[in-house]
Amino acid sequence: MLKIISVIVLSLLIGGCAMQSNKEMSSSKIFQSVEEKDATLVQKGKNKGSCSRCGMDLVKFYKTSHIAEHEGTHFQYCSIHCLEEHLGNEITLKNPKVVDVVSLKLIPVSDAHYVVGSKIRGTMSRVSKYAFLNLEDAKKFQTKNGGEIMDFNGALEKAKEDFKHYK
């Protein structure tokens, strides 16, 4: 009887620990995460908070988020990778924008300075890509975290290289 009770107690303890670590995992912030109130979500409907390609949480991966339009519909992506994957399907996307890591606002990709390959982990890629509106901010980030500064097309090329590895 004692043995049975100790098994129950033990499994409760283990169960409790597992629950605890799950909780810690979900609340531990990754660099990409923001408060929900700070995220701009442009999609409609119940899946507005999910990447239109892979379904990942857009608030959790907000700092690498991109948006674009196609035939009047707004799409939001967790990363340049899912944007590139959508483009790779021969689709013409309009008005692509990216989150500026500093202001958390969506800015046209043509205005963005991407820091590619810094030590800060990326989304859907081992080579991270973070965008900044101000070149000075990009340089500051680069000084601290490394990486290379390039424009959207350069970052997109890097994203394409990653995709070759997936396939």
Binding site for Zn ion (CB under 5 A): 51, 53-54, 56, 78, 82
Q: How far is the CB of 81 from Zn ion (least distance, A)?
A: 7
Burial label for 42, CB within 10 Å (0-12, 13-18, 19+), is middle
Residue 115 phi/psi, 5-degree rounding, is: -100, 115
The distance of closest approach from Cβ of residue 65 to Zn ion in the complex, given in angstroms and rounded to an integer, is 9
**In this complex, which beta carbon is closest to Zn ion, that of residue 39 or of residue 51?**
51
Q: Which is nearer to Zn ion, 78 or 133 (CB)?
A: 78
Residue 106 or 137 with smaller CB distance to Zn ion: 106
Minimum distance between the CB of residue 144 and Zn ion, rounded to whole angstroms?
Answer: 26
